[in-house]
Chain A
Amino acid sequence: DAEITQSPRHKITETGRQVTLACHQTWNHNNMFWYRQDLGHGLRLIHYSYGVQDTNKGEVSDGYSVSRSNTEDLPLTLESAASSQTSVYFCASSPGLAANNEQFFGPGTRLTVL
């Protein structure tokens, strides 16, 4: 069955370290998104991509980067982790069709920055 996976599911790191969170989907969706979810803030968009080699900043992109070298993967990199980036991170994908923007979410990665 087609699916979307994230790894690792849990990560503890130290301030200043570089961290990469993986997201992989097998639906062949054009669009992929990264969100963070914190109490009191709901889901906030970090970065998104509408296809290979395309990346765009979301509302909370500072300190994060993404690259899209193939359809299936959109890794999220924290260049120098900060305690404020402790959060639950969700990856999502959608087909990219004009009439269908339903997004499907991965299981999430819980990141703790000490």
Chain B
Amino acid sequence: QKEVEQNSGPLSVPEGAIASLNCTYSDRVSQSFFWYRQYSGKSPELIMSIYSNGDKEDGRFTAQLNKASQYVSLLIRDSQPSDSATYLCAVNTLGAQKLVFGQGTRLTINP
């Protein structure tokens, strides 16, 4: 079992709809969770971090964390074509300072 798993997609969402990206992780002592966005040919860019159970909102983005289910998600409201990218989930384990990345989900927003 991979440490961090994401559906590779592609996930296709119409413009203006909500895009929902999911990530599961295997290490129960994982402590910090991050979502990165990566445009084609560019480097990963941090868009959200979440450390405790529940929801965290930042503009059109909401990160959701459920440690009991070992599940973290990213919701993008009012999706725009500029949101089309690969989204990487990353997890940090308690006591370590390196991140484990999922394979990424490719998201396409259709005008």
Contacts and interface: CB of A to CB of B under 8 A. Distances in A.
B35 to A, nearest CB: 11
B99 A101 contact: yes
A90 B49 contact: no
A90 B97 CA distance: 17
Interface in A40-93: 40-43, 45, 48, 50, 58, 90
A31 interface: yes
Given A43-B88, A101-B92, A90 B44 contact: yes
Interface residues of A, number: 22
B29 interface: no
Interface stretch (B9-17, B60-68, B71-79, B101-109): B101-109
A8 interface: no
B36 to A, nearest CB: 8
Contact of B44 (A43, A45, A50, A101): A43
Contacts of B43: 90, 105-108
A112 interface: no
A13 interface: no
A102 interface: yes
Nearest to B86: A42
Contacts of B25: none
Interface string B46-69: 100101000000000000000000
A103 B98 CA distance: 9
B101 A102 contact: no
14 contacts: A40-B103, A42-B104, A43-B88, A43-B101, A101-B32, A101-B97, A101-B98, A102-B49, A103-B34, A105-B43, A105-B45, A106-B43, A108-B42, A108-B43
The 5 closest A-B pairs by CB, nearest first: A42-B103, A105-B43, A43-B101, A101-B92, A105-B44
Given A41-B103, A58-B98, A105-B44, 10 more contacts: A45-B98, A48-B98, A96-B97, A101-B92, A101-B97, A101-B98, A101-B99, A102-B34, A103-B46, A103-B99
